[in-house]
Every structure is written in structure tokens, then in C-alpha cells.
Structure 1
Amino acid sequence: MTQTTTLPKTYPAPTALKTPTDLTPEQAGAVVKAVNPLIADAFSVYLKTKNFHWHLSGSHFRDYHLMFDEQADQLIESTDPLAERVRKLGGSTLRSISHISSLQTVRDNDADFVTPLEMLTELMNDNKAMATSQRAAHEVCDDNRDFATASLLETIIDETERRIWFLFEAAQGLEHTK
């Protein structure tokens, strides 16, 4: 006896990633344009923080090593909620390392050796720049009635300010150590 298998009905593939939203295309587009560079910077500063975590040396090795690891985790964890907000608005988000590179506003650090004080200072300045960009994106969200993304950014700004605080305090007096 031959068994007949019924194939499931096929559905047409989506032609575009256009999640519906009650925001106008202009409002959603403005938010997407403001948020995608934040995601790129988070990835960039994440990798720089891990770079410094891996290449750290000196008398405060353990403390900085653990702090850099904690901060890197926090940075990478911020990327998914932001990227998902972009998708919820019908936009598209980062697709590759080259896409990140094209949007990032912080500079990479490929130096063979960076002193602990230089690491702390550079990461602090990168996070300060990120906070400025995050606040600007928050204003764009408010101006375009995207209160959910604005609310998410409030938490992320607070986390960024915490990283700045820790990096600043860790650097205090370090220039006097050898």
C-alpha cells in the first residue's frame, strides 16, 4: 500500500522587511538613522574593551581585567534590544563588520601596546562620546513619538554613565604609579 503525503501549503516569501508601526515612515526612519550608529559604536567599544581586557598588564591587572570584562558584557548586551527596536519600527539594522565600520563614530585602537592609564582614558572618552550620541538619539525618539526606544535609551545612558564613572575613578592617581 502506497502512503500519500500531503505537502503543507506554501506561502509566498516576504518581499521586504517592513514591520508595521503606527509611526510615519519619516518618524521611524529618523529613529532608525539615530539608533543604528549607537549599535555600531557599542560593537566597536565592545571589541576595544575586549582588546584591552586581553592585552592588559601592570599592577592593577586583575581589577582592570575584571572591570573590562564586565563592561564589555554590558556593551554587547545593549546591542540586541536596540537592533530589535530598529526592526520593530520596520527598519533594517547592522549586517556585517563593514556595516559597523561605516557607521561607528569611535576610533579603533590597533596599537601593539597601550598603557593601563591610556586604556582607561580612551575607554572613558569613548563612553562619553557614546553618552552624547545616546542623548541626541533620545531627543530624536522624543521628537518622533517613539517613547519605547527613548525609554530603552534612558537605561542604556545610565549604564554608559556608570562605565564612565568607573573608568574615571580607576584612573585617579594612576599617572603616579609605575
Structure 2
Amino acid sequence: MATQEHVRREFGTVEENELRLDREKSEQIVTALNQDLADTYTLYHQLKKHHWNVEGAEFRDLHLFLGEAAGNAEEAADELAERAQALGGTPVAGGKAQEEHATVEPEGQDVYDIRTSLENDLAMFGDVIESLRDHIELAENLGDHATAQILREIIVQTEEDAHHVEHYLEDDTLVQ
């Protein structure tokens, strides 16, 4: 454990930034980014849980897809955290803090059949997508076009992964 006694930046505060975005605007955007970061990590952990526990005839395809989707969520989380830091904020970090900032609810520790798991994933994807849309609009309204663009890039991949889950949940399947 670190022995440094001086805190360089207190969590929840936003410093002036070199991006020349007003501190009040940066504070609003960092708050939104930290919510998205916490939600995205919650999604990541749920996808990894399903990646680890999937069984059955479609195991291989689902295992690979869920691993890839979790990787996409992890990449998005990294982008969100780096943008929050660039705006003078501190990215939310650690399980307890992320749980406190997340607006999505994970399904819990039990293992469910894959259809139920994917339905839970799709519901969480939907919540994350709605939040990203709101935060794109917030960033645009505050004049932070770069954050809006970063969120747009994230939402494209998030929607694509959600669409794949939707296809896995269709009734037409070769598996009986």
C-alpha cells in the first residue's frame, strides 16, 4: 500500500484543465462520465460472468462473443476514465466506489440459464445506451464536442453488441 500522505487531487473535485473547458461545465461532464464509467464496468463484470459460465450447444460462439463484448466494455471504460482525467477530474475507481456511482443493477451472483443471462445483458445494454445518449446531449449542450464524439464512438460499439445479443435471443435456432 502506498505511503504517500499528500493527496494530489481529491475525488469529486475538478481542476482547471488545458482543454479550456469551464470548470463548472467540466464538473457536470466528469460526473456524467463517472456514471458511465461505473455503469460500463458493471456491464463488463456481468458479461465476464456469463462468459465464464455459459454452457450448452452454442457454448463456443457465445463464450467468444461474451468475451469480445466484455473487452469492448473494458475499452470503453478506459476511454471514459481518460476523458474524465483530461477534464481535470478523477475517474471513479474500485468496486465499492463504482457500485455507488452506477445506475445499472447487476443480476447477482447466481448462475442462470443462458437465455435469462442474455436477457439481463440486453436490459443492461439498453440502460447504458440511454445514459450515453443523455450524456452525448449534455456534452453537446455544454460545448464539449470532443467528449460528445468519444461517447458517440462508444455508443456505436455498445449498440452493436446489444444488437448481437438481440440476435442470440431470437426464436429461430438449430438447437432444440
In 2, Cα distance between equivalents of 1:48 and 1:67 = 13
Aligned length: 166
For residue 95 of structure 1, report the CA deviation from its aligned partner: 2.5
TM-score of the pair, normalised by structure 2: 0.87
Q: Deviations over 1:58-84 (max 9, x none)?
A: 221111111100000000011111111
> Cα offset for 1:15?
4.6
What is the identity, as a one-letter code, of the residue corresponding to 2:32? A
Q: Does structure 1 retain, via aligned residues, the 8 Å contact 2:47–2:67?
A: yes
- Residue 3 of structure 2 is matched in structure 1 by none
Q: In the alignment, is residue 62 of structure 1 matched against residue 53 of structure 2? A: no
Rounded to whole Å, the distance in 2 between the matches of 1:43 and 1:24 is: 28
**How much has 1:92 moved relative to structure 2?**
1.2
Moved more, 113-122 or 17-26: 17-26
Alignment partners' CA distance in 2, 1:113 and 1:176: 24
1:78-97 equivalences under 5 Å are 78-97=76-95
Unaligned 5+ runs, structure 1: 1-12
- Among the aligned pairs, what percent are the same residue? 27
RMSD, aligned CA: 2.0
Deviation at 1:57, TM superposition (A): 1.2
Which residue in the other structure is 1:32 paired with?
A: 30
Could you report, residue by residue, the CA deviation over 1:16-70 in whole angstroms, capped at 9, with x for unpaired residues? 4735241111110111111111010111110100001111112211111111000
Q: Larger Cα Rg: Structure 1 or Structure 2?
A: 1
Determine if contact 2:43/2:121 at 8 Å carries over to the other structure: yes
Q: Which residue of 1 aligns with 2:15?
A: 18
Q: Which runs of 5+ in 2 are unaligned?
A: 1-5
Q: What's the counterpart of residue 77 of structure 1?
A: 75
